Structure 1
Amino acid sequence: MELLVAALAGFAVAALTAPVGVSGAVLLLPVQLSALGMHGPQVSATNLLYNVVATPLGIARLARSARGNGAEMLVVTAAAVPCAVAGAAVRVTWLSDPLLFRGLLGVLLLGTGVRLLSPSRRDAPPRPGRERGGRRLLAAAAGGASLVGAAVGIGGGSLLSPLLIGVAGWVTARAAVVALTTTFATSVVGLTAYAVFDRVGFGAAPAAPDWETGLALGTGGALGSLAGIALSRRMGERPLRLLLGALVCLTGAVYLAGLLT
């Protein structure tokens, strides 16, 4: 029954979040902590396993309609690799405190939701001579998102996508493929780091993922991401972004309120 709940949860959140470049892991953390009763760094590792399974189909589908994003995808992948290892190390040491972890999760959820609710600007043509500098900023943003994403277990796309849409003014389709690429790279490297840390006894335990739960979440998420991308083509990006932003804000507020009680 728990695996069925996990698969359904993965499908539902991915259908809502994949079209805007968010894997859904940001909303699965509360499911694992509350509904499935998981705890410790294992929660973050299991979420990254979900990303590894759930995001490739969505990336492939989005990449078919994306043009000129190959260099950007390489930039964010290169930035994500070392930062994901660092993020996993932070999680099994400093962020092993449950209250600290929940507080950080609540802040990230609220920030992500606010950005998604903010009006987005359309793409502006690149200015001459600014392409290299723009890629440096993209690498820095992807690296920071990867570090935090690996530590919390959300992969980084849920942090990077709102920045690209709300701050940089990218259209959702362009931001989505780059953000999901960041999530996938972060998740593969971060998941490996968690498994190694658990194996050698570094930091708090358990750090290795719950493989069955992660695979069930990911299988549902893979199907949900395809359904969500198809749905977005009929509904448009704005309704999905507003719905996701409201849901993420509400979840973050509930977590922060729980720390005060």
Structure 2
Amino acid sequence: MAEVLLALVAGFVVAALGTPVGVSGAVFLLPLQAGLLGVSGPAISATNLVFNAMSTPLALARSAAARARTADLAIVTAACVPAAALGAFLRVTLFADPARFRLLVLAVLAPLGVQLLVRAARRTPRRVTGAGDDAPPLNPFTLTALVLATGAVGGTIGIGGGSVLAPILVAVLRQPVRRSAPLALTSTLSTSLTGLIAYTLFDTLAVGTPPASPVWHIGIATGLGGIAGALLGARTAERAGERALVLILGTSATATAAMYLVQVAG
């Protein structure tokens, strides 16, 4: 019972932090899964995806989804399916080794987090009042390639494609947070649903290193907390300035990378 209550609280907090910037907040759950909730192996990634699958739909519905182009949303949805399946396969094989897994998290999150923090420190604060329609449209081929790569990485780590996609859209492609958020949340949802199916099949068929199936009671508890947190986070997004949103996103990525750096060094 204690671990279920802890999972509920953890899900609420991470969703409240992540929703305003288009990520599920699952990046924070990675160290909690192994350190406090007793989940081990590739099941850590799969259990995170349960949280994403439950908390993301409400966050997406409450976000400014209408501000994302329909064609971009379709590209993200379709590309995440093969990417997530590949990511799950890599997690139960190549990245089943804990040391390799930690290095992957560091390699993905550390540079993106630092870049976003630098950007937040340099830019002039402004209110997020528009849809970001003055920003250049995304090239469909660039977006497809980016979603395939981030979806595979997100499926491997178990944070959903959006947690990797959002920082790149904002920091590298200079997209407004309000346009990037629905694309990132769509990526997270598509990656999570596909990844859950893939992890469960791999476990059933004894592919790779077990355990791969999610720990359902932990995942469901974090997901229920995430639904409430997503509601709060969506309201926060309506009032926050873009500088604050970028700062939250950069901090979340950097903090998680720092946790894994400590584990690798130890």
**Is the CA contact 1:124–1:169 (under 8 Å) kept in the aligned structure 2?**
no
Q: Which amino acid aligns with 1:196?
A: L
Aligned to 1:92: 92
1:114 alignment partner AA: V
Q: What is the aligned partner in structure 2 of residue 251 from structure 1? A: 256
Please tell me the residue identity of whatever aligns with 1:108.
V
Q: Which moved more, 1:1-10 or 1:67-76?
A: 67-76
Matches within 5 A, 1:1-261: 1-63=2-64, 66-119=66-119, 124-126=134-136, 134-261=139-266
Q: CA deviation digits over 1:178-215, x for unaligned, max 9?
A: 01100100110011000000011111101100011001
Q: Which deviates the most, 100-109 or 44-53?
A: 100-109
Equivalent residues, number: 255
Aligned-residue CA RMSD in angstroms?
Answer: 1.8
Residue of structure 1 in register with 2:129 after alignment: none
Paired AA for residue 27 in structure 2 = V
One-letter amino acid matched to 1:248? A
- Give the partner amino acid of 1:111: P
Partner AA of 1:95 in structure 2 = F
Q: Quote the Cα distance in structure 1 between the aligned partners of 2:103 and 2:135.
A: 39
Distance 1:155 1:172 in 2: 18
Deviations 1:28-61 (A, max 9, x none): 1111011112110100000011100010001111
Distance 1:125 1:17 in 2: 23
Question: Alpha-carbon deviation of 1:67?
Answer: 2.9
CA distance in 2, matches of 1:260, 1:174: 37
Alignment partner of 1:204: what SS?
coil
Q: Distance in 2 between matches of 1:206 and 1:5?
A: 22
Identify unmatched segments of 5+ residues in structure 2.
Answer: 124-131
Structure 1 residues 129-182: Cα deviation after superposition (integer angstroms, max 9, x where no partner): xx7xx0110011011000011011011111110111111111111100001100
Alignment partner of 1:119: what SS? helix
Secondary structure of 1:49's match?
A: helix
* Conserved 8 A contact 1:42-1:210: yes
Cα distance, 1:237 vs. partner? Answer: 3.2
Verify the 8 A CA contact 1:14 1:224 in the aligned structure 2.
Answer: yes
